[in-house]
Structure 1
Amino acid sequence: MTSATASRRRRRVSLQPFAAVAVTILLLGIPFAVVLLTASKNQAEALNPNLSLPTHWQLLQNFSTVLNEGRMVPAFFGSLLIMVPSVILVLVLGAMASWILARRKSRVVAFLYALGISGIVLPPAVVTIVLLLRQLGLAGTAIGMISVYTGMYLSTVIFFVTGFIRTIPPELEEAARMDGASPVGVFVRIILPLLSPTLATATILICLYIWNDVFYALFVIGGRLDTLPLNLYQVASSGLYLQNWHLIFAYIILMSLPLLITFVVLQRKIISGITSGAVK
């Protein structure tokens, strides 16, 4: 290999990160810019969303209109009412199940693990879910929606956490048992603190799924309890939002802020959880 060839190869390798960053900016930055610029325009300028700058910036005014007239605050608390219990249940039940699945070795456990993570690739049967909730008297209730989300996303936690627990030395648990710790004590004091990076990853993923879900919420609680995506879907067809893309995009920005803040706070643990749990 000549020195010129080696030099060209080194230049290509050194340029690859910059090319990846440039492609990422194009794929993510342009849509975000369209949303932000459109949310800053008036109704006439926002009829055709594009990258043109607004004549007069009115982003804060559009935010105020959305908050005051779009029923966004009640929908925000409705989303929290659904999301927080769902995430807690999924994390607790999934972590406990993953601990057992990671430590027990048998064909039955292997089958249960495969069954547990099958929900990642097998879509839930919406009609069956709705009919079952009606039989149980939970259709149209927050408890019914929480139960649906818990069952749907338990597979995600089992997939992430089981792989991570297998990397934890069993000697830590044996030492705790020798000191008199109960199984619950071992899980709470030894296993659970070590799971924080993986659980942070699962948390942001599940929050993202639930926070933005409109499909299942529409069939289970549609019309009885407002969440942010349901509220946006409903008011986007009403007089306030009809063809008002500046208000729709302003709503989307406000709806995305809580998840964006959560991601910024947990980003280090999220990356650590992905690299240490899911690939092992």
Structure 2
Amino acid sequence: MKATSPGRPGLSDSKIWTRLQPVFTPLLTLVVIGVPLWLVVATAGKSRGEALQPDLSLPSKWQLWDNLKAVWTDGGIPAGFFGSLLVVIPSVIGVLIVGSMAAWILARRASKLTAALYALAISGIVLPPAVVTLVLLLRQLGLAGSAVGMIGVYMGIYLSTVIFFVTGFVRTIPASLEEAAQIDGAGPVKVFVRVVLPLLRPVLATATILVCLYVWNDVFYAFFVVGGRLETLPLNLFQVASAGLYLNNWHLIFAYVILMSLPLVVVFAIAQRKIISGITSGAVK
């Protein structure tokens, strides 16, 4: 019998792990994702008395539809939904356009200055913005409490994320494609729009989902920048829960969370393949 070297797993261990991996991975995914998801759905389907202590038990009688209707009527879902769209759509479009153009330049220019600018551009991923300074600046500009100010804040915060993903992806695109377009007489804008931008669809899909996820669920910056002057879904949930409307009404709070999460779930389900492709091509390469 052939002995294995110390510190290295034997062949039998490798075979065991190979056989267990197809079972272990879905089971771990089910626990990490399925348990919290079931907690939300089960609690949202209970009565107020049963939901006082949220747990994984089944409701004695499902009231999910009634709870969803109550939240839709009393929780300001339509106004919060359109308020969230008013902020999310311009923020995402703006940060994708500016970030992809900046990333293209940073990926194609090889110099010490460009490297320093790239490091500065992605530093926003790890350096949180100063909220007090941000609010004071918006007040000086007359943008505090407005959707325009909120859009500018989100673009500034998540521009680093877009630049990080898109720069890595652009470096995988052959520069000869752009040179061929330039030989045909295309200027920088036409090269970017006609050649580069169509190739960025996978990574832009990834960035879109990430930025949408952050902005759609944000309550921290929205609370300080717009306060109660603009209704968004997470801000509405925070306000009604803290005001006492949903106090101890966990069944309504979780029903609100379900309605608030549905648009992102639909978008993610549609774009999941491009998201995975964008992450592997943009971040790893």
Q: TM-score, normalised by structure 2?
A: 0.95
Match of 2:211 in 1: 206
Structure 1 letter corresponding to 2:39: V
CA distance in 2, matches of 1:239, 1:218: 18
Residue 268 of structure 1 pairs with residue 270 of structure 2: no
Task: Note the C-alpha offset of 1:56.
Answer: 0.9
Shift of 1:163: 0.5
1:242 to 2:247 alignment: yes
TM-fit CA distance, 1:14: 2.1
Which residue identity is paired with 1:35? V
Compute the RMSD of aligned alpha carbons: 1.4
Q: Deviations over 1:161-199 (max 9, x none)?
A: 001101100000010111111111110111001000000
Q: What aligned pairs does 1:78-93 form with structure 2 within 5 A after superposition? A: 78-93=83-98
Determine if the alignment matches structure 1 residue 40 to structure 2 residue 18: no
Moved more, 25-34 or 161-170: 25-34
Match of 1:63 in 2: 68
Partner of 1:122: 127
Where does structure 2 lack aligned partners over 5 or more consecutive residues? Answer: 4-9
Q: CA deviation at 1:242?
A: 1.2
1:113 aligns with 2:118: yes
Instruction: Decide which of 80, 102, 123 is 1:97's aligned counterpart.
Output: 102
Among 168, 174, 181, the residue aligned to 2:179: 174
Q: Alignment length, in residue pairs?
A: 280
Task: State the Cα distance separating 1:77 from its structure 2 match.
Answer: 0.4
Q: Secondary structure at the match of 1:237?
A: helix
Q: 1:232 is matched with which residue?
A: 237
1:139-178 to structure 2, matched below 5 A, reads: 139-178=144-183
Matches of 2:185 and 2:14, distance apart in 1: 60
- Among all aligned residue pairs of Structure 1 and Structure 2, give the percentage whose two residues are the same amino acid: 66
In structure 1, distance between residues paired with 2:14 and 2:113? 51
- DSSP-derived class of the 1:249 partner: helix
Q: Distance in 1 between matches of 2:71 and 2:152?
A: 31
Number of the residue aligned with 1:135: 140
2:177 is paired with a residue whose SS is helix
Q: CA deviation at 1:23?
A: 1.4
Give the match's secondary structure for 1:37.
helix
Matched residue type, 1:221: V
How far apart are 1:6 and its partner, in Å? Answer: 3.3
Among 202, 208, 216, the alignment partner of 1:197 is 202
Q: Secondary structure at the match of 2:228?
A: coil
- Describe the SS at the equivalent of 1:9: helix
> Mean alpha-carbon deviation: is it higher for 157-166 or for 232-241?
232-241
Secondary structure in structure 2 of the residue aligned to 1:236: helix
Paired residue for 1:217? Answer: 222
Q: Which moved more, 1:9-18 or 1:121-130?
A: 9-18
> Which whole-Å CA distance do the structure 2 matches of 1:6 and 1:233 have between them?
54
Which amino acid in the other structure matches residue 29 of structure 1? G
CA distance in 2, matches of 1:238, 1:63: 20
**Distance between the aligned counterparts of 1:9 and 1:273, measured in 2?**
31
Offset of residue 219 of structure 1: 0.3
The separation in 1 between residues aligned to 2:87 and 2:207, in whole angstroms, is: 17
SS of the equivalent of 2:246 reads coil
**What is the Cα deviation at residue 239 of structure 1?**
4.1
Question: Partners of 1:150 and 1:240 in 2: how far apart?
Answer: 33
Match of 2:29 among 24, 32, 38: 24
- Provide the C-alpha distance between the structure 2 equivalents of 1:232 and 1:95, rounded to a whole number of angstroms: 33
- Matched to 2:246, the amino acid is Y
